Amino acid sequence: MNIRELIDVLQGKMLVQNHDPDEEMPLGGAADLMSDVLAFGSEGMALLTGLTNPQVVRTAEMAGINVIVIVRDKTPPPETIDLARDSGITLIRTGYTMYEACGRLYKAGLPGRGLVKIQNDSW
């Protein structure tokens, strides 16, 4: 799925564009926990989240994520938008809830990570 199709499926709005709309995303993921993003995030992934603070952009940058989709039609603060612009992240907003946004994308063919095993609990 490419960025243009993702926006179509989510009836989304481009807030910050840093990538070609034809750029393909290999998979998608969703989290409100930044540590989860760092744990399962991978290069080129689309991240759906309900958080709007600038740390979302930083986290995505560190995890190599290019595209962030903010769900539930929240408007991110200007700091988040500025940081996204500077750090090469594409920011999109959708009116769907996290559940429905994920469902629509998955149904439209954007795959997830599959079963994830982070680590065993022994150190």
Residues in the site for other proteins, rule: CB under 8 A?
14, 16-18, 20-21, 32-36, 38-39, 43, 49, 51, 53-56, 58-59, 61-64, 79, 85, 87, 118-119, 121, 123
Nearer to other proteins, 107 or 122 (CB): 122
Would you say the C-alpha torsion 67, 112, 31, 101 has a positive or negative sign?
positive
Q: How far apart are CA 48 and CA 67, in angstroms?
A: 9
Nearer to other proteins, 21 or 103 (CB): 21
Nearer to other proteins, 7 or 102 (CB): 7
CA dihedral 78, 74, 112, 102 (to 10 degrees): -160
